[in-house]
Amino acid sequence: MEQAQALLSSVFGFSEFRPGQADIVAAVLGGQNTLAIMPTGGGKSLCFQLPALCRDGVTVVVSPLIALMRDQVRSLQQAGVCAGALTSANSEAETEAVHEALREGRLKLLYLAPERLASAGTVSFLRRINTTLIAVDEAHCVSQWGHDFRPDYLRIGALRQALNVPLAAFTATADAETRDEIVTRLFDGQPPQTFLHGFDRPNIHLAFAAKDGPRRQILDFAAARTGQSGIVYCGTRAKTETLTAALSEAGHAAVAYHGGMEPDLRRQVEARFQQEEGLIVVATVAFGMGVDKPDIRWVAHADLPKSIEAYYQEIGRAGRDGAPAETLTLFGPEDIRLRRSQIDEGLAPPEHKSGDHARLNALLGLAEALDCRRKTLLAYFGETLDSCGNCDLCESPPETFDATQSVRKALSAILRTGEYFGTGHLIDILTGNATDKVQARGHDALPTFGVGREFNRPAWQGVFRQMMGHDLVRPDPERHGALRLTEKARPILRDEETITFRQDTLRKAARRPVAHALVSDEDAPLMSALKARRRGFAEEASLPAYMIFNDRTLIEMAQTRPQTLDDMARIGGVGAKKLERYGAAFLAVITGADATPVHPARRKLAGRASGSVFDQLQQAQADLARGDDGTGKYLSCTASTLRHVAERRPRSQDELERLPGMGPQKCERFGAAFLRVLAQADAG
């Protein structure tokens, strides 16, 4: 470590390590497989750059963004370190300079994009240049269900084994589930030396606010910080454009950034942001990991982030120089609905969706926190803090109330309805709203019907939102958003614990406009699941999604919830061919169970009156398969024969006998029973 300490001062200009850095550097220097989770701006890069200078050979750094790699290479070169990057953005001269430095044995750090790992010659090339260490920046990109997943990161584990060298992985945002996935995919399940260092960024002021004219709120926030560099994150590309126009009109230097822009335009924005003071970038999450500007003074979210990890990572781009920085996150019911639908419409397996809902619950808990936000945020990452004095709630504590009885009523309603219903239906029960759906299920006779009239519908929505924020209930992905209790809810239900909620957000909830939606809140999770299934079929066939079923058809499915193929055939837009191709799969999404196999002859009758006649004929045949007394020779008709009978409706034994597949013997056994079925159908 003496050499490392000397280089820390002579190359990087620091007299001492930041907290935690020395232990990580020592582990990497010692050739140990290492995983380090450190806060954004906590000095992760130095933890692999410094050991690279002390070790023989080349350290290969896998990094997800070209802009980030180029910035780090330039910084190292400015410090006198021989470093280079091989990327698609290189000029011929830059690439040749890197190869020359490798041939001469001068280059110490080689940055590679993960996509380059797919090249057949990569392993032999890295052996030839004497690679002795692999460093992985932003290691959470290996998480297949994370918001920054990069498929080529999955190749890194095999590369480590092929080269037989130690690997050091770094990230600023990884919960326990993601850490386990990193260990599995990068370290073949063998736990590395792991360092988990403080997530606190005490210089960043935290604040949340309910949406109340969000454009005006963002403009007011920016106006109070004129001349300071900032980022505004938006949930959609279109919103980045409209909000940029509003900020520009208000006199700010603002520019949009999103994944739909041409690469050259995005690079221009990145370069401007690095070089200009006071520029505001209005961006989607596409403007992310490559941001390494130390003097970003504020970050605002015009929409709720995807998860608490995404929130932490995005606000962490402010104040990397350690000077004070500020944040503001706006949230509203429409944000939560959007995030829930994004989870439900995703292709992740149910257990991952459940985890994503839990992470969104954690973010709601932060938004609806009762006291110090930093305390709540750090608790999620396993750290403790009394209070920070640098957040909106420390400065102005919210008004609260004892919500125990109201929560108990809501939990009781969930249990009494079998944990099979979403917020909308439960609120109807609690407020005594006897809708057709409530009456059809007999829920107007429940003891909980009408017991919650102390709140109106918007206020109850606020109660359920805070219940999710406290992780008392979670949407069940396999039951299309139906709420299920967590273990944290049980003591409250049993009157063993009390719970306190915020009063202010209930009052604000009553004033919020209701977002227009294709379906009701109750049907939205099922609609999301149907859209996810549709997307799967569309991607398999390389077709636009609407060619499978259009939205109107899915809306009708979500609202009517067909239970059989006959029901499905009556949905507008479900023709015979589409029923045959897709009917069973969409029915399985709606019912939660695989559809019972149906003979093609019967499927052709789905949705028609002849279908139910076919079923009755089939039952009559089963009853008489061995005669009236059950001792005769087994006899049956094919499904095609039964279809002919159901469609042609013969009125006599002679007509029946002439149908394909019948004949005298079968007519003698089944004829009278079949004719009775047909007569009853005609009479009906």
Q: What are the tens digits of pLDDT across the range 636-667?
A: 888 889 988 888 888 888 888 888 888 888 88
Q: What is the dihedral of CA 483, 487, 488, 494, to 10 degrees?
A: 100
Give residue 328's pLDDT. 96
Q: For residue range 537-563, what is the model confidence (pLDDT) as tens digits? A: 888 888 777 778 887 788 889 888 888
Q: Is 287 a residue whose pLDDT tops 70? A: yes
Residue 358, both tokens: 């839990």
Give the amino acid at 452. G
Token duo for residue 129:
């240049």
pLDDT-derived band at 625, boundaries 50, 70, 90: confident
- Whether residue 514 is predicted with pLDDT greater than 50 in this model: the reply is no
pLDDT of amino acid 512 = 38
Percent of the chain at pLDDT > 70 equals 95
What would the pLDDT profile of 305-333 be if each residue is shown by its tens digit?
A: 988 888 988 998 888 777 789 999 999 87
Q: Which range is most confident: 15-24, 224-233, 516-525? A: 224-233
Mean pLDDT (whole number) for 671-679: 88
pLDDT, one tens digit per residue, over 460-513 is: 988 998 999 898 998 887 777 789 999 999 999 998 999 999 987 776 543 333
Rounded Cα gap, residues 546 and 59, in angstroms: 49
What is the pLDDT at residue 609?
Answer: 73
Amino acid identity for residue 345 in this structure: E
- Do residues 375 and 390 lie in contact, with contact meaning Cβ atoms separated by under 8 Å? no
Confidence of residue 240 (pLDDT cuts 50, 70, 90): very high
Integer Cα distance of 646 and 677 in angstroms = 9
- Measured at the CA of 248, the angle between CA 244 and CA 249, to 5 degrees, comes to 115
Highest-scoring range by mean pLDDT, 169-173, 209-213, 594-598: 209-213
Judge contact between 309 and 258, C-beta under 8 A: no
292: confidence class by pLDDT, cuts 50, 70, 90: low
Average the pLDDT over 525-530 and give the result: 87
- The confidence score (pLDDT) of residue 40 equals 66
From residue 227, alpha-carbon distances to 224, 297, 576, 603 in Å are: 9, 10, 63, 68
pLDDT above 90: percentage of residues in the chain: 35
By C-alpha distance, which of 236, 278, 227, 228 is closest to 257? 236
Per-residue pLDDT, averaged over 571-577, amounts to 78
What average pLDDT score do residues 269-294 get?
Answer: 79
Q: What is the pLDDT of residue 385?
A: 87
What's 7's DSSP letter? H
Instruction: Please tell me the predicted confidence (pLDDT) of residue 151.
Output: 83
Q: What is the CA radius of gyration of the chain?
A: 32
CB 363 within 8 A of CB 305: yes
Task: Give 454-468 as a DSSP string.
Answer: TS-HHHHHHHHHHHH
Does the pLDDT at position 138 exceed 60?
yes
What is the Cα–Cα distance from 48 to 110, expressed in whole angstroms? 12
Judge whether residue 144 has pLDDT over 80.
Answer: no
Backbone angles phi, psi at 295, to 5 degrees: -110, 35
CA distance 255 to 284: 12
* Total number of residues shown for the chain: 684
Q: Which of 472, 506, 497 is nearest to 405 (CA)?
A: 497
399-423 as b/e: b if 16+ CB within 10 A: eeeebeebbbbbbbbbeebeeebbb
pLDDT score at 32: 93
Q: Give the pLDDT of residue 624.
A: 87
What is the pairing mode between strands 500-502 and 193-196?
A: unpaired
pLDDT tens digit sequence for 174-219 = 667 788 889 999 998 889 999 887 778 888 999 999 888 899 999 9
Q: Which residue has the higher pLDDT, 339 or 576?
A: 339
Provide the token pair at 370. Answer: 């009762």
Q: Which positions ≥6 away from 537 have C-beta within 8 Å?
A: 543, 548, 582, 585
pLDDT in tens, 35-52: 998 876 667 889 999 999
- The pLDDT value given to residue 128: 92
CA distances from residue 508 to 327, 461, 512, 599, 665 in whole angstroms, order as listed: 21, 11, 7, 56, 77
Residues in Cβ contact with 599 at an 8 Å cutoff, skipping those fewer than 6 apart: 639
At residue 509, the pLDDT reads 43
Burial class, 597, CB count within 10 angstroms (exposed 0-12 / middle 13-18 / buried 19+): exposed
Q: For residue 681, how far is the Cα from the chain centroid?
A: 50
Backbone angles phi, psi at 256, to 5 degrees: -90, 155
Q: Mind listing the domains of the chain with CATH numbers? A: 2-196 (3.40.50.300), 204-395 (3.40.50.300), 400-511 (1.10.10.10), 524-597 (1.10.150.80), 609-683 (1.10.150.80)
The pTM (predicted TM-score) of the whole model is: 0.64
Closest CA to 469 of 574, 373, 579: 373
Average pLDDT along the chain: 86
Separation in Å, CA 232 to CA 248, 275, 290 = 13, 18, 16
The residue-averaged pLDDT of 271-300 equals: 81
Place of tokens 């290479």: 73
* Whole-number pLDDT of residue 612: 79
| pLDDT 10s digits, 364-407 | 999 989 999 999 998 888 788 888 999 999 999 998 999 999 99
Confidence of residue 425 (pLDDT cuts 50, 70, 90): very high
Residue in this structure with the two tokens 């019911």, named with its chain if needed = 333
Taking alpha carbons only, the member of 112, 146, 150, 148 closest to residue 288 is 148
* Higher per-residue pLDDT: 231 or 267: 231
Are 393 and 372 in contact by the 8 Å Cβ rule? The answer is yes
Nearest to 155 by CA among 188, 185, 135, 189: 185
Q: What is the pLDDT of residues 60-119, one digit of tens each?
A: 999 887 777 887 888 788 778 899 998 887 888 889 999 999 999 999 999 998 888 878
Report which secondary-structure segment, H or E, holds 50: helix 46-54
